[in-house]
Amino acid sequence: MLCSLCKKNEATIHYTEVVNNQVKKIDICDQCAKSKGINIELPFSFSDILTALSKEITGLEPAAKGRRAPSCQVCKMRLNEFLKSGRLGCAHCYETFADTLQDIMRNIQKGVTHMGKVPARFFDAESTRRRISQIEKELREAVAQERYEECVHLRDELKRLKEAKDTRNAQDAKEARDAKPKADNA
């Protein structure tokens, strides 16, 4: 799969974001990632995951003979199927197999909470989006309670944040366009 930005190199980073059931995907090569300040280092290796899964399988097999292994109520996936494949069947599986997943995560990384790195640019955009939502909520409350002076300040802050967001989006779009290879005139 080619990089979404330069359209030349093979993509090595695949970023997917789901917001309000809308999926946005971007595939980025190492060079474009570095130029955008994206540095992804995994705190564990895939061999660590496989080792942890095999330990879980080995540790559960004797106990599983005496009792029925849990299965997901939604997709019907069984624990032993997950442990063999390393893939969950649906989102509900995370709840069904939570204890096992936590044990696996403890074996392959420092804890059960993911503390991944996010490029500052993505963090800023998300922070701005959250702040806009918060101000919109405060503005609705201020209007409902007829606090009009506060409404003016909130409106101005909201306008400033939206303009900054639009400017940032325009810059990102320009960078994406500029990264596309130019067609030869030959």
Render pLDDT for 126-154 as a digit per residue (tens, 0 to 9). 788 888 999 999 999 999 999 899 999 99
Q: What's this model's pTM, rounded to 2 decimal places?
A: 0.33
Render pLDDT for 164-185 as a digit per residue (tens, 0 to 9). 888 888 887 787 777 766 554 4
Which burial class, exposed, middle or buried, applies to 149 when counting CB atoms under 10 A from its CB (0-12, 13-18, 19+)? Answer: exposed
Render pLDDT for 56-75 as a digit per residue (tens, 0 to 9). 555 554 444 445 677 899 99
Nearest Cα residue to 136 out of 118, 117, 162, 112: 162
- Is the four-CA dihedral 52, 114, 72, 81 of positive or negative sign? negative
